[in-house]
Amino acid sequence: MNKGILFILSVLFTGTIVEASSMGFLLIDPLPNSVALANGGMNSIHNNPACMCFEQTRGVSFSHVEWFTDVRIEHLQGVYQTDRYGIGADITYLHAGDIPGYDALGNSTGPFSIHDAAFAFSFGYFIGKVSTGVSVKIVQEKLDDVTANSFAGDAGIMVQDVIPGFDCGVSVLNLGTGITYEQEKEDFPLAVKGLMHYAIPAYAYDVYVNASWEKDGNIIGGLGVEALYFEMLSFRLGYSISKEEVAQKGLTAGLGVRFAEKYSFDYAAIPFSEFGVLHYAGLSIGF
């Protein structure tokens, strides 16, 4: 294979990775149980920081995402909740294997790596049927030996039992001035996200609907259904839509298994356009 072809492939491959690991990673839902419901789960600080009071749960969860090519995402979330308030923290870390670099003439410049991370600290307060929450994020992006840092924030509100069994909320995600990478400044992917949930009376089925408006004009929506059997086995199915050609859209699916009361394992399989199927796996421990 000649140097010209190698250079073109390197540019295409590197461009794909950079697009995946730019500030757009802040919009990636890392929890398999939420992703299987077309990104509409209500147990994720990532979707809305008010969820940590809304769900009335305590525990930690870890998830691993096998994205396209060699890109992987690790996520750790912990929540401590009482009847009045919730405190949470989560870490999202995106990394890729060594990427071969080439100059404009097709000469090898050696491998380089990409790492992105977001560290979020959240606080929520619960009054009656209404919970509110805010998150402060430390955002870091690293390309080879160059590192940039900045701050972002989320804010949200959730309302429980607007009518019996129906809950809803809205959040504003990734507020901030952006991040400066050497001489280039990149804006945070500001988004407004709405969540809705309805528990079907007399049946162990839950319906989830979500919609997001992003600063770049993209609109994303999703519908998900979850069925619970024997209080331990969950089946999830969803469908996502998006204006973007390269996006998570179409059918989503997953399952969850709860055992020993406080442990649960979740898995999701998500189509991602021409990049094939993405795999999410997670383990949660309640306390």
Tens-digit pLDDT profile for residues 3-14: 333 333 333 333
For residue 58, count other CB atoms closer than 10 A to its CB. Answer: 16
Please give the pLDDT value at position 209: 96
Mean pLDDT across 15-31: 66
- pLDDT tens, position by position, 165-187: 899 999 999 998 888 876 777 88
Q: Which two tokens stand for residue 226?
A: 């979850």
Q: How confident is the model at residue 206 (pLDDT cuts 50, 70, 90)?
A: very high
Please give the pLDDT value at position 76: 94
Please give the pLDDT value at position 5: 34
SS (H, E, C) 30-57: CCHHHHCCCCCCCCCCCCCCCHHHHCCC
Please choose, from the candidates 278, 257, 276, the residue with its C-alpha nearest in 3D space to the C-alpha of residue 268.
278
For residue 283, count other CB atoms closer than 10 A to its CB. Answer: 14
Please give the pLDDT value at position 3: 36
Mean pLDDT across 59-75: 86
**% of the chain at pLDDT higher than 90:** 40
Q: Is the pLDDT of residue 234 over 70?
A: yes
Please give the pLDDT value at position 157: 94
Q: Can you tell me the distance from the alpha carbon of 195 to that of 152, in angstroms, rounded to the nearest whole number?
A: 21
Please give the pLDDT value at position 101: 64
Q: How confident is the model at residue 83 (pLDDT cuts 50, 70, 90)?
A: confident
- pLDDT tens, position by position, 28-60: 888 999 999 998 888 778 889 998 876 656 889
- Domains with residue ranges and CATH for the chain: 3-286 (2.40.160.60)
End-to-end CA distance of the chain: 56
Give CA separation, 77 vs 8, 80, 245, 248, in Å. Answer: 39, 10, 30, 22
Q: Is the pLDDT of residue 74 over 80?
A: yes
Q: Can you tell me the distance from the alpha carbon of 48 to that of 212, in angstroms, rounded to the nearest whole number?
A: 12
Please give the pLDDT value at position 13: 38
CB 239 within 8 A of CB 222: yes
Q: Can you tell me the distance from the alpha carbon of 3 to that of 281, in angstroms, rounded to the nearest whole number?
A: 39
Q: Can you tell me the distance from the alpha carbon of 236 to that of 198, in angstroms, rounded to the nearest whole number?
A: 14
Please give the pLDDT value at position 204: 83
Please give the pLDDT value at position 136: 96
CB 269 within 8 A of CB 238: no
- pLDDT tens, position by position, 96-154: 777 666 666 667 667 767 888 999 999 999 888 899 999 999 999 887 777 888 999 99
Please give the pLDDT value at position 19: 45
Q: Can you tell me the distance from the alpha carbon of 57 to that of 80, in angstroms, rounded to the nearest whole number?
A: 7
- pLDDT tens, position by position, 213-224: 988 788 889 999
Q: How confident is the model at residue 246 (pLDDT cuts 50, 70, 90)?
A: low
